[in-house]
Each structure stands twice: as structure tokens, then as C-alpha cells.
Chain A
Amino acid sequence: MAGLLIASALLGLAASVAGAVASPRSRTPLTVGGTVAACAVAFAVAAHVLATGEVVRFHTDRLLPLAGFTLQLDRFGALFVAVSAGVGVCALIYRLGYEGHGLVSRTASSTLPLFVTTLLLVPAAADVTTFLFLWESMALTSLLLVLADHRYRPEVRVAGQWYAVMTQAGAAAILVGLVLLATRSGSQSFAAIGEAAPHLSPWVRSTAFVVIVLGFASKAGAVPLHVWLPRAHAEASGPVSALMSAAMVNMGIYGILRVGDGMLHGGPTWWWLGVMALGALSALFGALHSATSRDLKRLLAYSTTDNMGLVLLGVGASGLFASTGHRSLALLALVASLLHVVFHAVFKGCLFLAAGSIQQATGTRDLDALGGLLRRMPMTGAIFLIGGLGMAALPVLCGFVSEWLLLQSMLHGLPTADPAIAVAMPIGVGVLALTGGLAAFTFVKAAGIGLLGLPRTEPAAVAREVAPSMSVGGGILALLCVVFGVAPLLVIPAVTGAARSLTRTVAPDPLARGWQLGLSGVHDVLAPGILGAALVLVVVAIALVRRRLQPGPVRIVEAWGCGRELQTAAMEYTATSFGEPLTRVFEDVLTPSHDVDVSHVAESRYYVEAATFHTSLDDAFERRFYDPANQMLRRWGAVARKVPNGSIHRYLAFGMVALIIVLVVVA
């Protein structure tokens, strides 16, 4: 099995080399073929590990100096490898038909396979050096891919800067935390750190945990470290944004769990309350911004922040239960969180691929410029609808199952006597309920404004369905979205195995096997299969009754507009107007800014010549925290630039002063 894992990595590298040396025409098929093969092999290895529990190990002394290169794939890591591989296959198939300008370049063609390969290998890294090497490779390759379109759109460069800074700051935090753990426990292997961790001082453990959680949270897009995410995911091309949003952000969750549960074996209550708070804040903030955003991909990116927040909420709840001795509930919450990671990858991959198709067909991501796409792009529209229903966590689609389990795990924590749980769980339940509602609102907005109604602009009116391979890539994920929603037990055993291998808990299996989901010790059951069958039956019954009751053929006429002559798309709801009531309700959080400019005719001020209205919705964290920080850095930079002014005398003086200081210190 270790050989196969290495074979997968080598296939990815070969695809990357092919992307660099092949002719422009054969570049795309070669890289896609190689990367899909790499993903397929990695998926097979991960499936084998998940099924048998065998741990795959690989070590070589060569690749990295001093430390060597160590891989070790257990069930927990294999779950993430499987998710990355699945998303990778779909995104790469989609890539075949994608006509982005930037992705055909030599750099991007050779970077994309590398990025996918690092996504496959990060969860298998078994020591600090290997992990950081792969983590940095993942960050750098994804940065290059985000920047692929930089020649065509200047916003891409800004997004790249934000991403580079945030991801490097996160990596630095992870480095500090892992190095702290490695030096204190005397070994850099994850397993050895895990053995030594219980004997470390609480200060070291807590410092390392906080620093590492912050580092990984920036990758998972948790508020307030999320600022790069709506920019980078929106500006990246279709397949890349799907890979980032469905596979890369998961690595943040992976890291937090691997360190918090796998290496430190849980910790005091406040760690997990902190994680829950981080998750709740991200979920609410992300859901609000995604409900009010008018940029399709920005909306999806904020929804990623929202969903990662829900996962963190579940992870925090699981840690909280574990730290207060509720083993069975802890396992349930962990399974629910991991399940949400998997299902989020499925529906968000679906949505980002469909959004990429829409952007390619219309040239815009602005919802207010779209409309009526379901009729013009039926396949893309269907994929978007299914993914969107999954995002809205509606029954018989996959998002529902994982959010239901999250809710159950938190609800069943309510009767416990522990004060921390008694306070945290109701808040968690409230957050989950509110974000669920907002996600449904977001779906209605995105699908209603973008896919239905009249086209609002010319490009939307002449949009054509995209290449079949793009529909296939998104279609596989859409199909999985339905299959997992109806039959979640296809994946739940694997996820439970992954959660057990991480926590090594002996608690009973929280979810009964069979055709329905039953929680052990609780009476609630969920039978998604029956739910799905009932839904189909109801739809069929309504259709039959309607056909029966209908007297004649349906006459289709224009909507009644008081006989108005010019009934145009300008009279439709827009994304902005649809979200306006919500913006008003949450004015204190979203702080929208409005600007009305009225200019008068020169002859008389009583006549208005033109009126322009401008409204914008900025990220509050960005404006209140990051902008001042940027300005401060810029000021310091300006001051620092004055010090080396080019005068040789000054430089000599610096040397002199430095020498004196050194002499004084040494003496």
C-alpha cells in the first residue's frame, strides 16, 4: 500500500512535469490524465485504509535534509485523502473543458497537479518537517493558481497578496506551535509527540494549542482570519476555487483535530469553548455575508466560512464533551463534524464548479447581471440547484444529514449538569438554527436571481451550455450529493472509523447501522431513504392531482403589470434588493454604506439632471481591523525607509554604533 501511495505522488509529479514540458495542445489532456490517475490511486489507498484500518507507512532519508520524508496514513488521514481525491477527480475532469485564460499557461499547467498532489499527501505527513514541507507546498502552489489570471484582471493581484500574507502568517503560527511541541517532547514525529504530550507542562500544551489553532483556523477560513478567503476563492478560476473550497480548507480542520485530539489528546474545557466560539462567530458572520453578497463566488466563499464554522462548532463541542467525560456524545459530535467536512466538500465542489461554468458562459459573477440561466444552461443549472439545496441543508440532500447530526449531538448535551456545556450548547444550537435559515435564504437568492426570471444583461441572455466534460465533473458531485443524502450510511462507517482512530475512544458506536440513522440511547431516528421516497411520492401525487384537476391546456401570458408597456428585467428583484431587508435587520454587523449623488441642471436647481446611487457592503473585520493594521504597517515602512538614505557616512555610523553595542554587551 505504501508503494501505491508513493506511486500516486509520483503520478502527480509526472503530470506536473508533463505540464511544464509538453506542447500547449497536449498539455491539458496530459496533466488532467496524470492527476486523475494520481487521485484514483490515492483514493484506492485511502479506501483500503478506511476499510481495513491498516496504517500505511513510508519513510525515506533522502528527500528532505536532516529529517527525511515520513508518511503515515491512518484512518483519520485517509478520510481527508479520500475527500481530496474525490474532489480532485471531479475538478480535473471539469478542467478538461474549462477555457480559463490563465490555466493554460505553462506555469499553471504544471502547478495544478502539484497542488492536487500536496492535497493528497498533507493528511499523510507523519512528522513536523514533512508536514510543514507539504503544507508550504500546498500554500505556494495554490497561491500560484490563484494568481493564474493576474494578467487579465488586476483584482487577482490584490486577492493574491491577501492570500499570501494570511497563509504565510498561518503557516508561521503552525511552525511555531509544532516546533514548540517537537522541542519539548524531544522528537519531531507526530506519534512521539503524541506519546510525550501528556507529560508536558500545561503552559506548553496550551500555548502550542492556541497558536496552532489560530494557524489552522486561517486556512479553514475562520473569522476573523477569513479575509483572504472571499477574495482568493472568488478570483481563482473554476476548478481551482472548487479544489480550494472543497478540499484545501478541510486541511485546517484536519490540523486542528490532528494536533488537538491526536497529539495532545484533548485538553481543558476552555480550549474547546474557544474553538466553539471561533466556530460560532465564523458560522454567523459567514452566513450573513453570504446571504447579502451579490457576487456569486464571493457568496459561495463566505458560505465556506460559514460551513467551516459549523464544523469547528462541532469539533469544539466534541472536545468539550470529551473534557467533561461524555465520551459517547464526544464521538457523536466528532462524527457529525467530519461528516459535514465530507458533505460540504461534495456540495461546495458542486457549487463552485457550476459557478465557474456560469462565469465562463456569461463572463461575470455578478448576480445582478445574470438571470434566466436555468433555461439556457440546464445542466449547469441543475448542478447548481442540487448543490445549493445541499448547502441549504434541506432533507434528502447531504447537507441535511450532517447538520441534523450536529444539532442532535448538541441537543443531547443539554441535560448534562456541567455548567460549561449547559451554557455553550444552547448557543451552539441557536447558531446552527440561524445559519441554517440564512443558508436557505442564500440558496433562494442565488438560484432565484441567477437561474430564474429574465436575463438582466446581454451576456446572460446569450449564454450557452458549457462543454460536456464540465457538466460531467460537476454532475458526479451533484449525484453524490443526492446519493449521500439518501443513503448516508455509505460513508458513516468510514467516518466513524476515522473519528475512532483519532481519539482512540472506546465509546459505543453512536450511530446504529441499518437503513436508518438511530442514535444509541436516544429515541430519535432519521431515515433519509424513507424521507426521500416520501418526497418523491408526494411530488408524483401532486403532479397527478394537478393533471386531474386541470380542465384544459394552460394559457401562458405575461405577468400582470397594470398594463404597463415596458415590462423589462429591470423590474425584477435583484440580489441586492432581495438581501436588503436582511441587510437592514443586521445593519450593526454588516454596516452597509449608501451614497446618493444628485446633480442639478445648470439653469435651475429645481430640476435634477442625474441621480446616482451607490451601495456597498464591506467586511467589517477587514475595515475595522485589517485596514488600520495595514495603514500602521505602511507608516512604519515609510519611517523605516528613511533610515537607509544612501549616505555612506550614515552606514558607517550604523556599523560603528553596532560594534560599540556588541562590545558593551560582551564586556
Chain B
Amino acid sequence: MDESAKRNRGSLQLRHVDAGSCNGCELEIASIFSPVYDAERFGIRLEASPRHGDGLLVTGPVTRNMVDPLRKAHQAVPEPGVVVALGDCARDCGVFRGAYGVEGAVGDVLPVDLEIPGCPPDPAAIVRALRGLAGT
């Protein structure tokens, strides 16, 4: 993480990929950009395209239909793209483990650099973890 923090120098642009989330994590991601947590003051932003990003912010267990799109999104990120697995489902499929439509956790599809536990994780925890990546 220190290396990543040094590289990013206070600016972390992430592309968010919902790989099959229940949208609980999305609510918390939305709230980290609210006036209360205001992650942007730490240089953390969400990007519209992975081409402009430093990495991916992946939520949810990876469903079968999202395996290829997730891989393509990862390919589209300039090297070295970081992968953040946000929430318990992204880490180990959580309550959806073994469900018929679930391929596996994010770690089964992509190399994960940072995991943020919680179902869903607290906004403060998300900001704290991402600040570590951004180096702010």
C-alpha cells in the first residue's frame, strides 16, 4: 500500500464496478462523497471510464454475467491498476456464497490489492482505507 500511496500522490481515480451487489455497498459509496465524509478532499474520485482511472472499486460477489465485463474493465485500466474489493460479498461472496448465479469472489477473478470488510462497510472505514491508497 505504501508503494501505491507514493505513486498516487494524493489523487486516486477509481472506476466503480458493481459485479452483482445488493446495492448496500453502493449506498455507502454514495455517502462517502456526501458533505459529511467528503472523500474528494482526500483526492478520491469516481471516474466514468476505467481508461481514466487508477483502478477499480468492485462491489458484490462476481456473478457469471459480470465475469467478462469485469475482466475487460480491468484490462482497460492503465497499468498498474489497483483492485479494491469493497464489502464482504466482494471478499468472499458473503451471504450469496454458493448461489447458482455466483461465479466467486472478486479475488477469484482478479488480483485484489485492498479489501474493505463490512456488510456494508461503514463510510468512515471506506474513506480510511482509500486514503491509505491515495496517500492522503
Contacts and interface: CB of A to CB of B under 8 A. Distances in A.
A227 to B, nearest CB: 48
A557 B75 contact: yes
Contacts of A561: 72
A569 to B, nearest CB: 18
A560 B73 CA distance: 8
A563 B69 contact: yes
> Range of interface residues on chain A?
under 10
Contacts of B70: 563
Interface string A528-566: 000000000000000000000000000101101111110
A565 B69 CA distance: 7
Contacts of B69: 562-565
B50 interface: yes
A418 to B, nearest CB: 59
B23 interface: no
A553 to B, nearest CB: 11
Interface residues of B, number: 12
A558 B70 CA distance: 13
B46 interface: no
Contacts of A564: 69
Nearest to B71: A563
Contacts of B49: 560
Contacts of B114: none
B79 A557 contact: no
Nearest to B70: A563
Nearest to B66: A563
B76 A557 contact: yes
B45 interface: no
Interface in B48-90: 49-51, 68-70, 72-73, 75-76, 79
A561 B50 CA distance: 10
Interface in B14-28: 17
Nearest to B65: A565
Nearest to A562: B69
Contacts of A565: 68-69
Interface in A200-240: none
Nearest to A563: B69
B102 to A, nearest CB: 18
Contacts of A557: 75-76
Interface of B is mostly: helix
A559 to B, nearest CB: 9
A563 B68 contact: yes
A560 B68 contact: no
B76 A555 contact: no
A558 B50 CA distance: 13
B79 A558 contact: no
A558 to B, nearest CB: 7
Nearest to A567: B72
Interface centre among A555, A560, A561, A564 (most CB of B within 10 A): A560
A563 B75 CA distance: 10
Contacts of B72: 558, 560-561, 563
A564 B49 CA distance: 13
B83 to A, nearest CB: 15
A560 B76 contact: yes
Contacts of B17: 563
Contact of A563 (B51, B73, B79): B73
Contacts of B73: 563
A560 B79 contact: no
A358 to B, nearest CB: 33
Given A560-B49, A560-B50, A563-B73, A555 B68 contact: no
A561 B49 CA distance: 10
Contacts of A563: 17, 68-70, 72-73
Nearest to A559: B76
Which of A557, A560, A562, A563 is packed against the most chain B CB atoms within 10 Å? A563
A560 B69 CA distance: 10
Given A563-B70, A565-B68, A565-B69, A555 B79 contact: yes
A562 B70 CA distance: 10
Nearest to B48: A562
B106 to A, nearest CB: 15
Contacts of B51: 560
Contacts of A558: 72, 75-76
Contacts of B75: 557-558
Nearest to B78: A555
Contacts of A560: 49-51, 72, 76
Contacts of B50: 560
The residue in B70, B72, B75, B79 that gathers the most chain A C-beta atoms within 10 A of its C-beta is B72
A236 to B, nearest CB: 47
Nearest to B17: A563
B74 to A, nearest CB: 10
A562 B79 CA distance: 18
Nearest to A560: B76
Q: Which of A555, A558, A562 has the most CB of B within 10 A?
A: A562
Identify the 6 closest CB pairs spanning chains A and B, nearest first: A563-B69, A557-B75, A560-B76, A563-B72, A563-B73, A560-B51
22 contacts: A555-B79, A557-B75, A557-B76, A558-B72, A558-B75, A558-B76, A560-B49, A560-B50, A560-B51, A560-B72, A560-B76, A561-B72, A562-B69, A563-B17, A563-B68, A563-B69, A563-B70, A563-B72, A563-B73, A564-B69, A565-B68, A565-B69
Interface of B: 17, 49-51, 68-70, 72-73, 75-76, 79
Given A557-B75, A560-B49, 18 more contacts: A555-B79, A557-B76, A558-B72, A558-B75, A558-B76, A560-B50, A560-B72, A560-B76, A561-B72, A563-B17, A563-B68, A563-B69, A563-B70, A563-B72, A563-B73, A564-B69, A565-B68, A565-B69
